[in-house]
C-alpha cells in the first residue's frame, strides 16, 4: 500500500464490505426485510411515510397504485438487489422494528470501530455514503455489537445524492460538507465506487475484506494500517 501519512480533513466511508461484513447485510438484513416486505406494505400503506415511498415505486416502475402490484415490484427489486431509493427506504423501516426488538444487531469490524473512535478523538469528521437509506444507516450505527456509535459520525449520504458509481455524487458530497474533494478520503471495498470517487478528485483507499475485484490505487486490509 502507498504510505498514507497526511491526514485528510474529513473521511467518507462505505458500510457494506468496508466497515461492516457484507455477509451480515446479505445473509441477515436483506432476508429479514424480504420476508416481511409484502405484509409491511399491506399493513402500513395508509401511513404517510409509507404512502410516499409507494408512490415513488409506482412512478419509478411505471405501474399503478394497486398494493399487490407494488408489493410484487418491491419483491422483484429486492431479489435483484436493485438500489432503488423507495425500496431502501422501506427496508429501513422494517429494519427499525428488528433493531428495536433486539432481533437485529449490526456488525462492525473491530478495526473499523477502533478507527471511528480514533478519528472522533482527533476531531476528524466521518461521513457515511451507502446505498442503504440514511435512516437505515443511522439505525445500523446505533445498534452495533459495540454499542451505539452514532455520535462518532458527522453525517450521512445515500442514493438521493446520486449513484455510488457516478463521480458527480462525490462532487455533491464534497460540496455539501464544504471540504475540497482532494482533502476528503473515501474508503470502500468496491473498485467501481473508488474509480468514480477518484474521478471526482477524492483521495481513495480500497478496504479489502474478501476476494473482491481490486483497483489500481491504495488498499488496506485493516484500518489499523493507517498512519493518520
Both 215 and 125 in one domain: the answer is yes
CATH number where 68 lies: 1.10.720.60
Counting every residue, how long is the chain? 228
Both 117 and 180 in one domain: the answer is yes
Residue-level pLDDT at 27: 95
C-alpha gyration radius of the chain: 18
Confidence band (pLDDT; 50, 70, 90) for 228? Answer: confident
pLDDT by residue (tens digit) across 14-55?
999 999 999 999 999 999 999 999 999 999 999 999 999 999
pLDDT by residue (tens digit) across 45-98?
999 999 999 999 999 999 998 999 999 999 999 999 998 999 999 999 999 999
Q: What region does 102 belong to: left with phi over 0, alpha with psi -120 to 50, or beta?
A: left
Residue-level pLDDT at 118: 97
Q: In this structure, are residues 187 and 218 in contact, taking their beta carbons and an 8 Å threshold?
A: no
Q: Please report whether residue 4 resides in a domain.
A: no
Q: Answer yes or no: is pLDDT of 196 > 60.
A: yes
Q: In this structure, are residues 126 and 152 in contact, taking their beta carbons and an 8 Å threshold?
A: yes
Q: In this structure, are residues 73 and 57 in contact, taking their beta carbons and an 8 Å threshold?
A: yes
Boundary (domain end) residue, out of 73, 101, 129: 101
Both 214 and 110 in one domain: the answer is yes
Residue in 17, 9, 38 with CA at minimum distance from that of residue 131: 17
Domain, as residue range, for 92: 25-101
Residue-level pLDDT at 156: 98
pLDDT by residue (tens digit) across 154-191?
999 999 999 999 999 999 999 999 999 999 999 999 99
Residue-level pLDDT at 3: 46
Give the predicted TM-score (pTM) of the model.
Answer: 0.86
Residue-level pLDDT at 83: 87
Amino acid at each position: 500500500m502507498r504510505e498514507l501519512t497526511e491526514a485528510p480533513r474529513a473521511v467518507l466511508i462505505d458500510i457494506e464490505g468496508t466497515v461492516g461484513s457484507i455477509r451480515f447485510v446479505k445473509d441477515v438484513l436483506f432476508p429479514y426485510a424480504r420476508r416481511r416486505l409484502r405484509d409491511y406494505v399491506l399493513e402500513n400503506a395508509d401511513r404517510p411515510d409509507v404512502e410516499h415511498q409507494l408512490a415513488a415505486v409506482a412512478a419509478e416502475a411505471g405501474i399503478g397504485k394497486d398494493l399487490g402490484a407494488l408489493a410484487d415490484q418491491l419483491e422483484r427489486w429486492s431479489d435483484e438487489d436493485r438500489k432503488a431509493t423507495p425500496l431502501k427506504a422501506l427496508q429501513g423501516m422494517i429494519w427499525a422494528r428488528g433493531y428495536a426488538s433486539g432481533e437485529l444487531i449490526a456488525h462492525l469490524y473491530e478495526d473499523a470501530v477502533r478507527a471511528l473512535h480514533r478519528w472522533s478523538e482527533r476531531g476528524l469528521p466521518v461521513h457515511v455514503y451507502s446505498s442503504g437509506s440514511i435512516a437505515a444507516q443511522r439505525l445500523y450505527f446505533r445498534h452495533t455489537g459495540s454499542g451505539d456509535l452514532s455520535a462518532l459520525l458527522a453525517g450521512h449520504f445515500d442514493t438521493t445524492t446520486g449513484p455510488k458509481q457516478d463521480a458527480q455524487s462525490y462532487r455533491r458530497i464534497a460540496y455539501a460538507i464544504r471540504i475540497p474533494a482532494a482533502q476528503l478520503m473515501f474508503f470502500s471495498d468496491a473498485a467501481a465506487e473508488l474509480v468514480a470517487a477518484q474521478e471526482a478528485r477524492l483521495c481513495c483507499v480500497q478496504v479489502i475484506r474478501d476476494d473482491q475485484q481490486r483497483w489500481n490505487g491504495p488498499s488496506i486490509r485493516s484500518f489499523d494500517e493507517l498512519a493518520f
